[in-house]
């Protein structure tokens, strides 16, 4: 797209390549090497570039207004990569503001906040095969490991760098059976305690962990090892810090002008998503990460706050914001058809994952926060009373096929006094481990892609703290070591058996209840299937054991236990079904006309596999 077309579409709210014009671009003009600076500041009286190359305010370079709508630009020679700069803006009232570049590609490390010049020609890619073959993964396994980059591991008090993560995180993720890494926001942000969800630089990779070249190397290494990388995007709000977007040219530009909608519930500023230039700014940011960094997925934060004014459905739909979301997802799907678009959404707004061409929001996936809340409530309930909450584990399948859901146990479920996943389980220390294994086996057998936050896989009892790494020392204790073994085995079973993922979103084909109504015993049973196999899942959610428990099965045949959460390997009671079980015909015709008789331990979730009759494939 040429410069004039970028400018035209930028003002129309349809630009997805604004970063090719705005910001600081190294190049040559009139046989001089230097940098072209371009910024949007329609209310400014004058704009200057200052930096270490101007001795900051000593020799500011005035920019020229290049169009009637407020674009300013200047070329400065003898400016080099890694130089620091800011814009000095004289407002219409004569006030002077010092602002970081909204389109900066890199920035100083907090508490400093100047923008830095960076040349993307430094990046070398070797992931052409991956980029050509990646897709939305609807019929593939998606097992996401959600990571706060500064809190996975540390060198003492210092977080791992992008290069450290390349060396250690990627092999760990692959070994443990995850398919994707989701990084909590990597846009630059000033306050560590916001975890990146209060951003100041939407094109600027945070410098906390290294530079853009090093991050690109990390992404390239992910792709080399067959791991997809998802990032979080926050298009709802931005920080109030004076150097940032707030009143950028002396008047509201990126935020709403009216007091009612200007400030968010988080003490930040809401983006004015009715403004066409703001739409272009944010859409271009999303495309920038896909284009420049080869990102494989974008999880959009707080979608309910995009749908409704202030996230409150009583205030009604924010139609301008909804139009923005549809437009962004339309362009992303068109330009980057292999990138997964994921909504973190707690609303019951319809058609979140329907195509924009069909009136939907255009996301590929939506977090199933209803499933998460119901499930954790059930497992925290005393088993004596679970008979009254039985529906909490069956309700999800009443609505599941209305959207394409991801099942999340994210960082949000490990903070703010909510307790970690294992600590929410009812009962004493021993019982919590048994129930957590039961829970995760249920999660991985339930339709939908999976997401777990760092620390879930080792049964961490301490809530997430951005100042600390996760409690790796727990692996010195047998219970946690056995749980980590269980979690890894479960992940690999999920990857091995297509019945657990291939027909996640095909109603009537990939999932069927065997018995959803055994509330008295709190035992659930259902079947997952693909074209060649059945996997029968039985869950016992009470402390009672059943030496002989009959389970209906979808066909007559031999059923082999491939997972039992009470296996001694995982710290369980070892009441397992080690030998293959031959089904018994009940004298009826059709599906579920046979049964197997199993040993069912307290708190056990069990998977049995059986090849479909006539299928020659063997996946056991």
Q: Which residues are catalytic?
A: 301, 344
CB 173 within 8 A of CB 145: yes
Structure tokens at 379: 């497992």
Q: Are strands 71-77 and 605-611 parallel, antiparallel or unpaired?
A: unpaired
| Cα-based distances in Å from 26 to 19, 71, 122, 265, 270 | 13, 19, 12, 39, 32
SS3 44: coil
CB 482 within 8 A of CB 459: no
Contacts 24+ apart (CB under 8 A), 612-616: 612/529, 612/531, 612/532, 612/533, 612/534, 612/555, 613/555, 613/557, 615/531, 615/532, 615/533
Peptide bond into 111 cis (omega under 30): yes
Structure tokens at 471: 């409690």
| Residue-wise DSSP of 319-376 | HHHHHHHHHHHHHHHHH-TTSEEEE---S--TTTTS-GGGTS---SEEE-HHHHHHHH
Closest by alpha carbon to 137, among 293, 361, 331, 337?
A: 337
Output Rg (C-alpha) for the chain, integer angstroms: 27
| Residue-wise DSSP of 186-219 | -EE-S-GGGTTSS-SEEEEE-GGG--HHHHHHHH
SS3 295: coil
Polymer length in residues for the chain: 620
State the sign of the Cα–Cα–Cα–Cα dihedral 396, 397, 400, 406: positive
Distance between CA atoms of residues 56 and 106, nearest Å: 18
134: Cα within 13 Å, side-chain hemisphere: 26
Q: Which residues contact 157 (CB under 8 A, 6 or more apart)?
A: none
SS3 546: strand
Hey, how many other C-beta atoms are within 10 angstroms of the C-beta on 592? 16
CB 212 within 8 A of CB 120: yes
CB 407 within 8 A of CB 446: yes
Distance between CA atoms of residues 522 and 511, nearest Å: 20
Distance between CA atoms of residues 149 and 161, nearest Å: 8
Hey, how many other C-beta atoms are within 10 angstroms of the C-beta on 159? 21
SS3 116: strand
Distance between CA atoms of residues 565 and 1, nearest Å: 56
At residue 31, what are phi and psi to the nearest 5 degrees?
Answer: 60, 15
């Amino acid at each position: 797209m040429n410069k004039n077309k970028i400018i035209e579409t930028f003002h129309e709210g349809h630009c997805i390549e604004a970063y090719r014009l705005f910001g600081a671009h190294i190049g040559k003009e009139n046989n001089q090497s230097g940098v072209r600076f371009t910024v949007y500041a329609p209310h400014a009286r004058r704009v200057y570039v200052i930096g270490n190359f101007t001795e900051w305010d000593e020799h500011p370079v005035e920019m020229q207004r290049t169009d009637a709508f407020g674009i300013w630009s200047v070329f400065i020679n003898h400016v080099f990569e890694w130089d620091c700069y800011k814009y000095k803006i004289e407002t219409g009232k004569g006030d002077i503001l010092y602002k970081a570049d909204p389109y900066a590609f890199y920035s100083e490390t907090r508490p400093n906040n100047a923008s830095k010049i960076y040349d993307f020609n430094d990046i070398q890619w070797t992931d052409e095969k991956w980029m050509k073959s990646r897709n939305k993964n609807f019929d593939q396994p998606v097992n996401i490991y959600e990571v706060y980059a500064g809190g996975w591991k540390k060198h003492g008090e210092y977080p791992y760098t992008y290069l450290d993560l390349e060396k250690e995180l990627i092999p760990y993720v692959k070994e443990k059976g995850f398919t994707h890494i989701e990084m909590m926001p990597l846009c630059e942000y000033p306050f560590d305690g916001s975890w990146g969800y209060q951003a100041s630089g939407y094109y600027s990779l945070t410098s906390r962990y290294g530079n853009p070249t090093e991050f690109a190397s990390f992404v390239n290494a992910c792709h080399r090892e067959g791991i997809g990388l998802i990032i979080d995007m926050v298009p709802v709000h931005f920080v109030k810090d004076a150097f940032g977007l707030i009143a950028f040219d002396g008047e509201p530009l990126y935020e709403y002008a009216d007091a009612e909608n200007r400030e968010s519930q988080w003490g930040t500023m809401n983006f004015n998503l009715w403004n066409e230039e703001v739409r272009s700014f944010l859409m271009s940011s999303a495309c920038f990460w896909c284009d420049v960094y080869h990102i494989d997925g974008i999880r959009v934060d707080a979608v309910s706050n995009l749908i409704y004014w202030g996230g409150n459905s009583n205030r009604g739909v924010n139609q301008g914001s909804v139009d923005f979301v549809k437009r962004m997802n339309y362009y992303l799907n068109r330009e980057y058809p292999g990138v997964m678009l994921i909504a973190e959404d707690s609303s019951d707004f319809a058609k979140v994952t329907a195509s924009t061409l069909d009136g939907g929001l255009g996301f590929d996936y939506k977090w199933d926060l209803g499933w998460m809340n119901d499930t954790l409530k059930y497992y925290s309930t005393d088993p004596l009373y679970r008979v009254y909450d039985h529906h909490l584990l069956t309700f999800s399948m009443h609505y599941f096929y209305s959207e394409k859901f991801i099942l999340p146990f994210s960082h949000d479920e490990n903070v703010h006094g909510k307790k970690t996943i294992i600590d929410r389980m009812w009962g004493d220390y021993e019982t919590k481990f048994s129930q957590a294994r039961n829970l995760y086996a249920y999660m991985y057998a339930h339709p939908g892609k999976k997401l777990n936050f760092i620390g879930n896989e080792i049964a961490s009892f301490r809530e997430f703290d951005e100042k600390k790494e996760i409690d790796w020392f727990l692996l010195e204790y047998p219970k946690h070591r056995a749980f980590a073994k269980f979690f890894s085995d479960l992940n690999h079973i999920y990857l091995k058996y297509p019945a657990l993922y291939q027909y996640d979103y095909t109603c009537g084909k990939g999932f069927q209840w065997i018995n959803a109504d055994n509330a008295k015993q709190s035992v659930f049973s259902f079947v997952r299937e693909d074209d060649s196999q059945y996997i029968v899942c039985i869950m016992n959610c009470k402390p009672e054991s059943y030496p002989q428990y009959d389970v209906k099965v979808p066909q007559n045949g031999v059923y082999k236990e491939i997972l039992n959460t009470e296996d001694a390997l995982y710290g369980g009671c070892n009441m397992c079904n080690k030998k293959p079980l031959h089904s018994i015909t009940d004298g009826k015709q059709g599906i579920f006309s046979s049964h197997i008789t199993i040993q069912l331990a307290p708190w056990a979730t069990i998977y049995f596999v059986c090849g479909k009759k006539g299928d020659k494939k063997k996946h056991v």
